């Protein structure tokens, strides 16, 4: 049930964090073009690294599935011998563990997994702790960028409202000026009045107000351009941060699932329990040479049948004698491979969208296309 929830959570995070990349735009400033290309190429570089890691994990899972296929295709006699030896290994393990069963504080699955990763445990815990800190940092950056984007949008809306108001005010001033001129003409023609002074005052006031409106309008127009650039910058940074968050979250989920924990502290605690239990088991294992002999025999059988990772089955011997357990192992591996394929497809889509955005940017800035492609070429492997 916990595994299902993690998968559902992973899918929801990926969907919610899927970036809506901002459209390319014409950029006259060389520094602006450089920043645009650096941001997108940096994003693509990070996605490419994640892809390579996904491919390595995918290949490891595929190799294990290939080993299962090789075992299915073993000769009947050889397969029966493997099952008998595996059953003996299981029997000896059960006999050994029954002695200290009441003191067991760690599941057999977790114990065997800790044994498998013992030599790399410091690196694994360190990486998990660093990823958790990084995820927290990226999450904080996302909140800040969301706030900044909202603030810029609000300021941009206010500026646009002011421009609209000034436009209406200018139209109103024009109407008033026309009405005043008509009134002055009527006064001169109909009543022979002297309207020189009044006309001068009207024109002077209209000129002053008009100039003020024009100055304010130009100022707000410039502010709108600046705010649009800031908004595009904030959106690009936010999308890049979302990609980072998706990747580090995916990485953490994979680590949690693989090690059957919820955080680095839990993994560290689990490993300490494993070390204590291991000391107990080591004293028992000294007297179980028969178990070692059976395991060696099992490894010889598996190696003779060209398995790539025979040592894995020393810790999964139950799957060799129980078809239902093997079905579960196969299902787990297929699920892991499908999850990795989904991650690779997702990162490939992000990579293609980023490439398309760069090409669109180069097209919109065709006069600087050579400069743009030269910047792109400085990033190796893209």
Please name each of the domains of the chain with its CATH number: 105-260 (1.10.287)
What CA–CA distance (Å, rounded) separates 264 from 174? 71
The Cα–Cα gap between 268 and 280 comes to: 19
∠232-236-239 over CA atoms, to 5°? 135
Q: How far is CA 281 from CA 85, 95, 270, in A?
A: 22, 12, 16
pLDDT of res. 3: 43
Least confident of 3-7, 44-48, 273-277: 3-7
Beta-carbon contacts of 64 under 8 Å, excluding residues fewer than 6 positions away, are 309, 312, 333
8 A C-beta contact, residue 6 and residue 257: yes
In this predicted structure, the answer to whether residue 141 has a pLDDT above a threshold of 90 is: no
Band of residue 4 on the pLDDT scale cut at 50, 70, 90 = very low
Per-residue pLDDT at 36: 82
Report whether 43 contacts 240 (CB < 8 A). yes
- Is a pLDDT exceeding 70 seen at residue 285? no
What is the pLDDT, as a whole number, of residue 162?
Answer: 78
In this structure, of 67-71, 163-167, 253-257, 269-273, the range with the lowest mean pLDDT score is 163-167
- Cα gap 129→127, rounded to integer Å: 5
To the nearest whole percent, how much of the chain has pLDDT over 70?
A: 85
Q: Is the pLDDT of residue 331 over 90?
A: yes
**pLDDT at site 103:** 58
Band (pLDDT 50/70/90 cuts) for residue 80 is very high
Q: Single out the residue of 14, 85, 16 nearest to residue 317, CA to CA.
A: 85
Computed over every residue of the chain, the mean pLDDT equals 81
Contact residues for 177 (Cβ-Cβ < 8 A; gap 6+) = 202, 206
Give the pLDDT band (50/70/90) at residue 28. confident
DSSP type of residue 119: G
Q: Is 39 exposed, middle or buried (0-12, 13-18, 19+ CB in 10 A)?
A: middle
Q: Rounded CA gap, 312 and 358, in Å?
A: 45
Question: Taking the CA atoms of the chain, what radius of gyration do you get in angstroms?
Answer: 35
Asked if 243 contacts 43 with a C-beta cutoff of 8 angstroms, the reply is yes
Give the residue-averaged pLDDT of 345-357: 89
Choose the weakest-confidence range: 101-115, 185-199, 347-361: 185-199
- The answer to whether 272 touches 264, Cβ cutoff 8 Å, is no
Average pLDDT over residues 126-147: 88
Q: What is the pLDDT of residue 2?
A: 46
Q: Ranked by mean pLDDT, which of 1-10, 112-121, 148-157, 188-197 comes out on top?
A: 112-121
Over the stretch 145-194, which tens digit does the pLDDT of each residue have?
Answer: 888 888 878 887 887 877 787 777 778 777 787 777 777 677 666 665 56
Q: What are phi and psi of 261, to 5 degrees?
A: -135, 175
Please determine, for residue 14, whether its predicted confidence score (pLDDT) is greater than 80. no
């Amino acid at each position: 049930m916990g595994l299902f929830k993690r998968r559902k959570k992973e899918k929801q995070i990926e969907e919610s964090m899927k970036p809506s990349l901002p459209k390319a735009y014409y950029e006259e400033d060389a520094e602006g073009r450089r920043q645009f290309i650096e941001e997108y190429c940096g994003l693509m570089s990070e996605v490419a690294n994640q892809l390579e890691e996904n491919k390595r994990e995918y290949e490891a899972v595929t190799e294990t599935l290939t080993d299962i296929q090789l075992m299915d295709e073993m000769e009947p006699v050889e397969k029966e011998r493997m099952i008998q030896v595996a059953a003996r290994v299981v029997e000896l393990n059960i006999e050994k563990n029954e002695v200290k069963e009441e003191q067991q504080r760690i599941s057999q699955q977790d114990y065997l997994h800790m044994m498998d990763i013992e030599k790399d445990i410091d690196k694994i815990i360190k990486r998990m702790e660093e990823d958790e800190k990084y995820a927290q940092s990226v999450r904080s950056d996302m909140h800040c960028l969301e706030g900044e984007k909202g603030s810029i949008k609000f300021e941009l809306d206010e500026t646009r409202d002011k421009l609209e108001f000034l436009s209406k005010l200018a139209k109103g001033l024009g109407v008033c000026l026309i009405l005043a001129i008509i009134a002055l003409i009527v006064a001169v023609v109909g009543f022979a009045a002297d309207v020189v002074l009044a006309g001068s005052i009207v024109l002077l006031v209209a000129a002053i107000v008009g100039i003020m409106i024009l100055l304010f309008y130009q100022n707000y127009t410039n502010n709108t351009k600046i705010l649009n650039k800031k908004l595009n910058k904030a959106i690009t940074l936010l999308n890049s941060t979302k990609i980072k968050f998706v990747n580090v979250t995916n990485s953490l989920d994979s680590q949690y699932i693989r090690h059957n924990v919820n955080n680095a502290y839990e993994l560290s605690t689990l490993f300490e329990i494993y070390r204590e239990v291991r000391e107990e088991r080591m004293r028992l294992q000294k007297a179980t040479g028969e178990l070692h002999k059976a395991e060696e025999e099992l490894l010889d059988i598996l190696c003779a049948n060209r398995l790539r990772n025979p040592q894995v089955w020393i810790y999964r011997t139950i799957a060799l004698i129980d078809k239902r357990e093997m079905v579960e192992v196969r299902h787990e591996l297929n699920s892991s491979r499908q999850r990795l394929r989904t991650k690779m497809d997702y990162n490939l889509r992000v990579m293609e969208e980023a490439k398309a955005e760069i090409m669109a940017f180069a097209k919109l800035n065709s006069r600087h296309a050579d400069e743009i492609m030269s910047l792109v070429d400085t990033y190796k492997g893209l």
